[in-house]
Amino acid sequence: MTIVRSKICGITCVADALLAAEAGADAIGLVFYAKSPRAVNPEQARAIVAALPPFVTTVGLFVNAGREEIQQVLRSVPLDILQFHGDEEPQACEGHGRPYFKALRVRAEDDLLALAKKYASAQAILLDAYVPGLHGGTGERFDWSLIPAGLPKPLILAGGLAPHNVREAIAQVRPYAVDVSGGVEASKGRKDAEKVREFIRQVRLVDTTM
């Protein structure tokens, strides 16, 4: 049986965090990027993390943040993992006292395998759509056939996933985990209970049929 994990990203309030946890999400993502409509501040994030039941991994997402900014968040919010969603070099992702995921935005002209190999210290590589001028949370999917074989780390698939396409995505890509934000929202920054439940139901359906 293949288990595919799921992460619900862009959680902005306790109610949505509990919704994700109760629906069976393995992880939630908190966006520490002020320009995002899903941004949270450390105080909001602390309240969200404190409300979660055990065994739900908390991922803090940063975009080209300074080392001190990240450390300041970590001093007040007990995050399990960091996710770097900007143009950070490996050195900028390391040394924070947490494992990290590196997000790479997929463009046909890039050598994804070489890029992924650069992040040898990452716990996983997250692949997302490339949309000029935006770092993530675009709701756009990318051409999954561009994903090279032999990625050196577990693959987290993101970008435009939703209840209606996540099974197809898993069947084609066989990722370690799937990551969703816009595809389970009612409005920017707020999750839709039915979409969250259906997304995770679809992921689990694949678990038993692959």
Ligand X SMILES: O=C(O)c1ccccc1NCC(=O)[C@H](O)[C@H](O)COP(=O)(O)O
Q: Which amino acid is at 114?
A: A
Find the binding residues for ligand X in span 92-151 (CB under 6 A): 128, 135-139
What residues contact 68, with CB distance under 8 A and at least 6 apart? none
The contacts found for 45-50 with CB under 8 angstroms, 24 or more apart, are 45/73, 45/77, 45/79, 46/76, 46/77, 46/78, 47/14, 48/11, 48/13, 48/14, 48/17, 49/77, 49/78, 49/79
Find the binding residues for ligand X in span 21-60 (CB under 6 A): 29, 31, 33, 36-38
Length of the chain: 210
CA distance 164 to 134: 24
Catalytic residue among 16, 26, 128, 179: 128
Binding test (CB under 6 A) with ligand X, winner from 45, 127, 180, 200: 180
Q: Is 10 in the site for ligand X (CB under 6 A)?
A: yes
- Residue count, binding to ligand X (CB under 6 A): 26
Q: Is 163 in the site for ligand X (CB under 6 A)?
A: no
Q: Which of 88, 26, 18, 29 is nearest to 53 (CA)?
A: 18
Q: Which residue's CB is nearer to ligand X, number 77 or number 138?
A: 138
Q: Is 63 in the site for ligand X (CB under 6 A)?
A: yes
Catalytic annotation present for 9: yes
Binding test (CB under 6 A) with ligand X, winner from 179, 195, 199, 206: 179
Return residues touching ligand X (CB under 6 A).
Answer: 9-10, 29, 31, 33, 36-38, 61, 63, 85, 128, 135-139, 158-161, 179-183
Active site amino acids: 9, 128
